[in-house]
Structure 1
Amino acid sequence: MKYVIKYACCTHVGKWRSENQDNFLCDGKYIGEQDATMDCLISGRTQGDEASLFAVFDGMGGEACGEMAARIAAQCAAECAANLKIGQRPAGERPTGERRTGQRPTGGHPADRRPTSERLADDLRRCCAEANEAICRYADRSGIGSMGTTAVMLAFADKEIILCNIGDSKAFRFDGETLQQLSVDDYALSAYGRKPPLSQNLGIPADEFAIEPHIMKAPCCAGDIYLLCSDGLTDMVSAQEIRRILSESEQDLNAAAEKLLQEALDAGGRDNITILLCQVEEQRHRPWAKIFPRLF
């Protein structure tokens, strides 16, 4: 199946926070240092004939520590996507804030051979390990006691999706009727009635704990909508409401993202909110497109 991936992504500081500690990766774009205060909606589409990577990160830590942890993770994911030719960007264009290391890309695949789901799963695990190490290095250099971030990453590869998550940022699939959570929540035990702390996240030193990101694979089906989000959405909006909004707006991802954001704000907006929607759309064969390109 040849397909395109439509996407819409929005992020908002919420009503109670002074800074946005969420971040995302969407078609090679993420929130860099110069964009740290922005609330935005971006949308577009990318070809599905090469793998594409999308992600949401929810930073944790005092002052700007969580914001930096999420940005480091987003930058690592952007570099991973670029090295693996996952990100769909014109030749020579860099994602916001990407470092010019001058180093040969690691973990990449030959340009003439698309990565398999097995290799992509390994690449996402490696991405988590590199982001974890980078966050720990930054914390150590800066004398910061604790900083970290969640991560939920979704890769499209040929006829499959590969999901990788750590922490409690969630991934859902909506097939037009059913909303199914695909991610695994990393929660520790806590007192009844209180939100439990995370059992793992990015930003834990290797000598303290070996992180184990969750990986799952599933068929990629035309029409399916995938939702990646921080808990600023799911703590405010029930799964039933999310399903209703997606059902009513499944033909317009921008409208769906904006409605989900507004629902979270109307419910209190107690945390930063990041919503990333991807929809798989079958690419129909149009033999006249090459002859009359302006009509298509």
Structure 2
Amino acid sequence: MITANRSDIGRVRSINEDRSWVGQLDNGITLAIVADGMGGHQAGDVASQLAVEAFRETLSESASKEGLTVDEGKMLIRQAILRANDAVYDIASRNEQYHNMGTTIVATLHVNREVIIGHIGDSRAYRITQNRIEQLTEDHTLVNELVKSGQVTAEEAAHHPRRNVITRAVGTDAEVEVDVQTLTLAEGDILLLCSDGLSNMVSDEVMLLMVSNPDSDLDTKAERLIQLALHAGGDDNITVVLLQDEAAN
């Protein structure tokens, strides 16, 4: 698996509350996570860092066995995200300055071309082919609930004054539900994980054009996505992770 991992503070925020990590275990399993923290007084920075550390430590230990199955991987990624929730919630409940801090998570575990995706919040996973982009995760946001119920259109949602309200996050409650899914990557597919600093600033069509460009390597594609979000305003922190099977190159 070849990967690229980029993050930028953006043009408005004073600190970067996004965190990301990509790693490969000795058994060939590739792990990736993007977390977008939230909370005042730099609490979002603390939340996302805690979540990524808990996820990394949990899966670096539990997913390192030989012959890991997809069903085992689904169980482990859910456990890792729940462990992250425990870590953030524990600190938030014991420290007044971190009260109500939380973070989104979108994470993947790759077993050959089988990909397990776990997520909470509005950080996203996309699958990109040469001529198609597919959003794989569903945003846990108030505006998405309004779209699903028919109260607003997708076009209205893009400019809704409450479009940043999260309905489910890591660390804000003692218990949280993790969405987990699996898919098989076809040859040439690229997986994109990102915070909303990218998806709110760059359209799906532009992301598809940039990532499907056969003349650029993954690092260049990731950097260009960051630059596109900055050029569009850079209103938020921007984090991009790209993953592709080495056999496709």
Following the alignment from structure 1 to structure 2, what is the Cα–Cα distance between the partners of residues 47 and 56? 18
Find out whether 1:214 has 2:179 as its counterpart.
yes
SS in 2 for 1:163: strand
Which of 4, 21, 36 is residue 17 of structure 2 equivalent to?
21
Deviations 1:176-203 (A, max 9, x none): 2211111111112568622151110101
Find out whether 1:235 has 2:200 as its counterpart.
yes
Following the alignment from structure 1 to structure 2, what is the Cα–Cα distance between the partners of residues 21 and 249? 32
Find out whether 1:141 has 2:94 as its counterpart.
yes
In the other structure, the counterpart of 2:189 is 224
Which of 54, 66, 78 is residue 76 of structure 1 equivalent to?
54
One-letter amino acid of the counterpart of residue 138, structure 1: I
Q: Is the 8 A contact 2:129 2:212 kept in 1?
A: no
In the other structure, the counterpart of 1:197 is 165
After the TM superposition, which residues 47-62 of structure 1 pair with which residues of structure 2 at under 5 Å, given as runs? 50-62=28-40
| C-alpha spacing 1:70/1:16, structure 2 compared with 1 (3 Å) | same
Following the alignment from structure 1 to structure 2, what is the Cα–Cα distance between the partners of residues 79 and 24? 14
Deviations 1:208-244 (A, max 9, x none): xx42111111113222110000000011100000001
Following the alignment from structure 1 to structure 2, what is the Cα–Cα distance between the partners of residues 267 and 70? 25
Root-mean-square deviation (CA, aligned residues, Å) is: 2.0
Shift of 1:63: 1.6
Which of 254, 259, 267 is residue 219 of structure 2 equivalent to?
254
Deviations 1:8-42 (A, max 9, x none): 11100000001000001111xxxxxxxxxxxxxxx
Q: TM-score if structure 2 supplies the norm length? A: 0.88
Runs of 4 or more consecutive aligned structure 1 residues displaced over 4 Å after TM superposition: 46-49, 189-192
Q: Is the 8 A contact 1:60 1:69 kept in 2?
A: yes
In the other structure, the counterpart of 1:98 is none
Find out whether 1:270 has 2:248 as its counterpart.
no
Following the alignment from structure 1 to structure 2, what is the Cα–Cα distance between the partners of residues 116 and 24? 25
One-letter amino acid of the counterpart of residue 9, structure 1: N
Query: Which of the pair is proportionally richer in helix?
Result: 2
Q: TM-score if structure 1 supplies the norm length? A: 0.74
After the TM superposition, which residues 105-120 of structure 1 pair with which residues of structure 2 at under 5 Å, given as runs? 111=65, 113-120=66-73
In the other structure, the counterpart of 2:75 is 122
Shift of 1:249: 4.9
In the other structure, the counterpart of 2:135 is 181
Aligned length, in residue pairs: 234
SS in 2 for 1:197: coil
| C-alpha spacing 1:162/1:168, structure 2 compared with 1 (3 Å) | same
Following the alignment from structure 2 to structure 1, what is the Cα–Cα distance between the partners of residues 248 and 129? 18
Find out whether 1:131 has 2:99 as its counterpart.
no
One-letter amino acid of the counterpart of residue 114, structure 1: G
Find out whether 1:67 has 2:45 as its counterpart.
yes
In the other structure, the counterpart of 1:6 is 2
- Percent identity of paired positions between Structure 1 and Structure 2: 32
Q: Is the 8 A contact 1:171 1:227 kept in 2?
A: yes
Following the alignment from structure 1 to structure 2, what is the Cα–Cα distance between the partners of residues 136 and 153? 19
Q: Is the 8 A contact 2:22 2:30 kept in 1?
A: no
SS in 2 for 1:248: coil
Find out whether 1:160 has 2:114 as its counterpart.
yes
Shift of 1:81: 2.4
